Amino acid sequence: VRAYDLIFEKREGGELSDASLRELVAAYTAGELPDYQMAAFLMAVFFRGMEGRELATFTDAMLHSGEVVDLSAVSGRKVDKHSTGGVGDKVSLCLAPIVAACGVPVPMVSGRGLGHTGGTLDKLEAIPGFRVDLGIDRYREIVAEHGLCLIGQTETLAPADRRLYALRDVTATVESIPLIASSILSKKLAEGIDALVLDVKVGRGAFMKTRARAEALATTMVELGTRMGKEVVALLTAMDEPLGRTVGNALETLEAIEILRGAGPSDLQEITFALAAQMLVLGRVAGDLEEGEKRARAAAADGSGLERFRRMVEAQGGDPRCVDDPTVLPQAAHKIPVPAPRAGAVREIDALSVGTSAMKIGAGRATKESVIDPAVGVVLQKKTGDRVEAGETLAVVHANDTTLGEVCAKAVGDAFELGDESPPDPVRVLARITAEDG
Amino acid sequence: VRAYDLIFEKREGGELSDASLRELVAAYTAGELPDYQMAAFLMAVFFRGMEGRELATFTDAMLHSGEVVDLSAVSGRKVDKHSTGGVGDKVSLCLAPIVAACGVPVPMVSGRGLGHTGGTLDKLEAIPGFRVDLGIDRYREIVAEHGLCLIGQTETLAPADRRLYALRDVTATVESIPLIASSILSKKLAEGIDALVLDVKVGRGAFMKTRARAEALATTMVELGTRMGKEVVALLTAMDEPLGRTVGNALETLEAIEILRGAGPSDLQEITFALAAQMLVLGRVAGDLEEGEKRARAAAADGSGLERFRRMVEAQGGDPRCVDDPTVLPQAAHKIPVPAPRAGAVREIDALSVGTSAMKIGAGRATKESVIDPAVGVVLQKKTGDRVEAGETLAVVHANDTTLGEVCAKAVGDAFELGDESPPDPVRVLARITAEDG
């Protein structure tokens, strides 16, 4: 590759040819293109962007840098969901079993948490014995047999993305819409899916802080997926307060199980069933979103979703008793209540602040090397719109270190904004973006 | 260094603190900052620029990454000249001896040619035995004794610039005004000078193709030099046709000697004496530019400049007979005339095309690894404004390979634009930029 020429061309705002983009990705994956040239290219992309055809080719080259799982032996349309990440976002854990129970296979390759946001793999690993490193053959078998499997990215899936992501992470080139879109789609399409629902979070606890940025990302990903021959739909959902009542790995897994029992907090229910409806329509088992949502709610109410979860946990080496007995999951030694400093209405709960505070007691990772404590976290007794008395418990911090726990409790208290007036009812699903919107 | 934060800050258009910039340069020079982070930073600077204070600190950190030569033992104000490079630009070879002969010491660290432009070191090395790798101690001695010394960049002078330049060269981050300015000034100030004249070339044979870009670079460098406590003046000079009549190393050295004999082409004389006048004023041996130019022309006419050149050649190990006997320099085996295809006036001679053609027969380097043939090159018999008859010789290609030579002759012929009307008299010194213009 004349890498210099490609960096120069992108720097000047040009559009690279398909052949050039494929050579660039291939050379980088093969270790023939040095990191410093790719870093310069990525920064040029940050400033200049990529147009649709370029982005599709770049993403396709990343996708085909490794194995693309063949799930043709699994009958039905395979549909997955990707979330851009938030605080308390345990949706995958309850969504996948519900959708699978409704007859749509869900092959799901997930990630780990970093910073204030959690990761699905970390939450699943709170279940004793649960394995996320099964290898592609076993993954394929479990999807075929149980209709779902949740694993981590392997060495063989989109290796170009793994190298590129690691480089972006240290060169301040993460926050680029085409680079985000290509990273997500190359990984997700390597799973062997036919369609994908994107949950693009918006708000102060999200990666995309503004509605405009979130819409731009959603539109780019929907268009990209469509160009790559997959049906992709995006929901923009609110991430201003934490989703549900729990933040922290074992606590979130238990809350997902609540949803699978037909219970759980209303905001988590709303987001889960909205996403499930999209997946069931994309999976062609529901004719429209209304029917999809009805079927999804039924799978939570009748226990069929919970049964799928149990089978998946067992197939992936986890202790299936966690479904019935919460004490199977690790529990923190100390529970520190956070009292309301005054009476009033909860106007806001700063998700970023709660996520960061939970991270600091071990629920998340400050750096990729941090070790997670699955037991710790925060349980919100009150959510936005609730009324409280002075001294009433707003939240409970679950900690294994009382000093850190007290600091966390203070910060969680500060994350609550109390006022006299109740806020307007929150809108949780802000928009739906499909290929027809393009 | 939290390199990530600094890349991020620059990417977002922020201004970095002095401490941050110094840490960045120090860590990179020490090999503690990986190339990929610096590459991302440089590309961010390409898009975001640096404001004056940032640029001065960054340049000062590069300057002090190595040795700053102490020439305080040499009496008088030490003045150097830097050219941004062009085709046929042999000015340093005649300018430095003239200025030295007028009493202003010229300590000059020069570079090599790349692409269509030549380099002073390559031209000097056409002289048998001439050494440009003398080491700083010997350089200091020669400047003290003879008033001038022309060497190449050493390991110890501005090592940060050496590393940064090599990285910019492969990451398409060369064409950034703050990065160009910091590279030039950090090297030049390491020589031990008190003042500097910049020859910023403008035109199709120059690095800066437009007057606006050349003015921006000149203004940035004058302002930067002033902030760093040095007197800096820039001339913008035309580089549309090659400067003088020769392109190629031995041929250009001989042409510089012609100037030192009070002869040589008028355009080369004009540029040489204009730059000399600036240097003599900065060196405080002339009260104004008019007096400076008069003294410089006298040093060419009376042979004192040539005598300085002879002493410098001898001190640097070269054969001083080259001054009187052109056959001491290598000569090409074949001389291929380029005939005029029609009668008329020379309207233009494309410097870029002539430079590239000469490079291809060995006068320059296609890549840094290319080996130069000092004997080969092009002699222009006609210059812009000259009238020719059909079949009259426009130029002569000096080649050691007849096949390559014929290709070069064809290209040089094509570089001449002939027309009916004579073009207007060319303006060669386009502007003078000083600190007062800022």
Within an 8 Å CB–CB cutoff, is residue A3 touching chain B? Answer: yes
Within an 8 Å CB–CB cutoff, is residue B166 touching chain A? Answer: no
Chain B residues whose beta carbon lies within 8 Å of the beta carbon of residue A7: 171-172
In whole angstroms, how far apart are CA B122 and each of A151, B50, B128, B331, B414? 61, 33, 12, 15, 27
Length of chain A: 438
Residue A222 in tokens: 């929907």
Helix (H, G, I), strand (E, B) or coil at A117: strand
What residues contact residue A51 under an 8 Å CB cut-off, 6+ apart?
A15
User: What letter would DSSP give residue A233?
Assistant: E
* Measured distance CA(A169)–CA(A365) in Å, rounded: 15
Phi, psi at residue A202, to the nearest 5°?
Answer: -130, 135
* Measured distance CA(A116)–CA(A121) in Å, rounded: 15
* Measured distance CA(B49)–CA(A111) in Å, rounded: 36
Within an 8 Å CB–CB cutoff, is residue B42 touching chain A? Answer: yes
pLDDT at residue A368 in the model: 82
Active-site entry in B10, B22, B78, B82: B82
How many A/B residue pairs have CB atoms within 8 Å? Answer: 75
β B148-152/B195-202 pair status: unpaired
In the residue annotation, B187 being an active-site residue is answered as yes
Q: Are A234 and A214 in contact (CB under 8 A)?
A: no
Higher pLDDT, A368 or B257: B257
pLDDT at residue B2 in the model: 86
What residues contact residue B216 under an 8 Å CB cut-off, 6+ apart?
B177
| Helices B35-48, B177-190: crossing angle, 10 deg rounding | 120
CA angle B421, B424, B425 (to 5 degrees): 130
Identity of residue A406: E
**Distance, C-alpha B208 to centroid of its chain:** 13
The yes-or-no verdict on residue A438 having pLDDT over 80 is no
Cross-chain residue pair A35–B36, CB shorter than 8 Å: yes
Q: Out of B3, B11, B171, name the one closest to residue A46 (CB).
A: B11
The yes-or-no verdict on residue A241 having pLDDT over 70 is yes
CA angle A257, A263, A264 (to 5 degrees): 75
- List of chain B residues with pLDDT < 70: 1, 438
Chain B residues whose beta carbon lies within 8 Å of the beta carbon of residue A42: 40
Chain A residues whose beta carbon lies within 8 Å of the beta carbon of residue B47: 43, 47
Identity of residue B333: A
Question: What value does the mean pLDDT take over residues A251-273?
Answer: 98
| Helices B159-171, B52-63: crossing angle, 10 deg rounding | 120
Residue A160 in tokens: 């170009």
Residue B110 in tokens: 């020069």
In the residue annotation, B161 being an active-site residue is answered as yes
Within an 8 Å CB–CB cutoff, is residue A15 touching chain B? Answer: no
pLDDT at residue A95 in the model: 98
**How much of chain A, in percent, has pLDDT values that exceed 70?**
100
pLDDT at residue A262 in the model: 97
The yes-or-no verdict on residue A138 having pLDDT over 60 is yes
β A416-419/B416-419 pair status: unpaired
* Buried b or exposed e, range B181-198, using 16+ CB within 10 angstroms: bbbbbbbbbbbbbbbbbb
β B231-238/B429-433 pair status: antiparallel
Return the sign of the alpha-carbon dihedral for residues A256, A258, A260, A264: negative
Q: Is B404 exposed, middle or buried (0-12, 13-18, 19+ CB in 10 A)?
A: middle
* Measured distance CA(B226)–CA(B56) in Å, rounded: 9
pLDDT at residue B418 in the model: 98
Q: Are A3 and A33 in contact (CB under 8 A)?
A: yes
Q: Are B202 and B218 in contact (CB under 8 A)?
A: no
Q: Which of A395, A435, A388, A89 is nearest to A234 (CA)?
A: A435
Residue B379 in tokens: 């002699």
**Which H or E run includes B166?**
helix B159-171
Per-residue pLDDT of A154-204, as tens digits, reads 989 999 999 999 999 999 999 999 999 999 999 999 999 999 999 999 999
pLDDT at residue A201 in the model: 97
pLDDT at residue A1 in the model: 53
Q: Which of B421, B420, B399 is nearest to B410 (CA)?
A: B399
Chain B residues whose beta carbon lies within 8 Å of the beta carbon of residue A38: 36
In the residue annotation, B168 being an active-site residue is answered as yes
Cross-chain residue pair B39–A44, CB shorter than 8 Å: no
Q: Out of A37, A167, A170, name the one closest to residue B171 (CB).
A: A37
Helices (H), B35-116: 35-48, 52-63, 91-101
